[in-house]
Chains A and B, each alone.
Chain A
């Protein structure tokens, strides 16, 4: 079963609008982190923002912010004031504290949402 689900495979908006990308996840761990990445056409995978399960702060980084609904196991990435350069594929990823208590660093990715910003 998929642990990280991004329901929408594609999304498009006009330049200047706001876009919300949804992600749901499954975990039994108390401590976990959620990350959003953007995959560029060049192949580069760029980190956007991190949400820790223990944090109640509304994370924000420039035009990126998240809506974290922990009880629903849901996290959304909000991109404001869309620009053409925001086009790309956006991935949600989950890091869980390993049961062994050791280190792993494993990220579990969703399938991504392809975003098109129309000028």
Chain B
């Protein structure tokens, strides 16, 4: 069974619209993350949450809002979509403790295309 579920796998949106990317993890981890991979760029860290609280936000735009309704959920709401938002968005999770970091496990990604 998949340990980290991301829905949908593919998403096409029009400029100006709003979408929510879903992520659920079943690894019992206390921390969850969002990364983005645009064409020909390395994975780029966006957000991290621990116990449903924001730990770090490296996203310049407020159009990207993470939402954590449950401990094992971290959805990503993107408003006023732009073509530049086209990318594959990866959710990840790990067991995080102060002063160290264990490996992060990644979901399969949601490929978003904004027309």
Give chain A's interface residues, CB within 8 Å of chain B: 4, 31, 33, 35, 37, 42-47, 50, 52, 91, 93, 95, 97-98, 101-112
Assess whether A105 is in contact with B56, with CB atoms less than 8 Å apart.
Answer: yes
Q: Which residue of B lies closest to A2 (CB)?
A: B42
Q: Which residue of B lies closest to A108 (CB)?
A: B45
The total number of A-B Cβ pairs within 8 Å is 72
Sorted nearest first, the 9 A-B pairs with minimum C-beta distance are A45-B106, A104-B56, A109-B42, A109-B43, A47-B103, A105-B48, A106-B45, A95-B101, A43-B108
Give chain B's interface residues, CB within 8 Å of chain A: 31, 33, 35, 41-45, 48, 50, 55-56, 58, 88, 90, 92, 94, 96, 98-106, 108-109
Assess whether B106 is in contact with A44, with CB atoms less than 8 Å apart.
Answer: yes
Q: Which residue of A lies closest to B31 (CB)?
A: A105
Assess whether A44 is in contact with B108, with CB atoms less than 8 Å apart.
Answer: yes
24 pairs of residues in contact across A and B, judged by CB atoms under 8 Å: A31-B99, A33-B100, A43-B88, A44-B108, A45-B90, A45-B92, A45-B106, A47-B103, A50-B102, A50-B103, A95-B101, A97-B99, A103-B56, A104-B48, A104-B55, A105-B31, A105-B48, A105-B55, A105-B101, A105-B104, A106-B33, A106-B56, A107-B35, A109-B43
Cβ of A7 to closest chain B Cβ, rounded Å: 14
- Given known A33-B101, A106-B56, contact A112–B42 (CB-CB < 8 A): yes
Cβ of A114 to closest chain B Cβ, rounded Å: 12
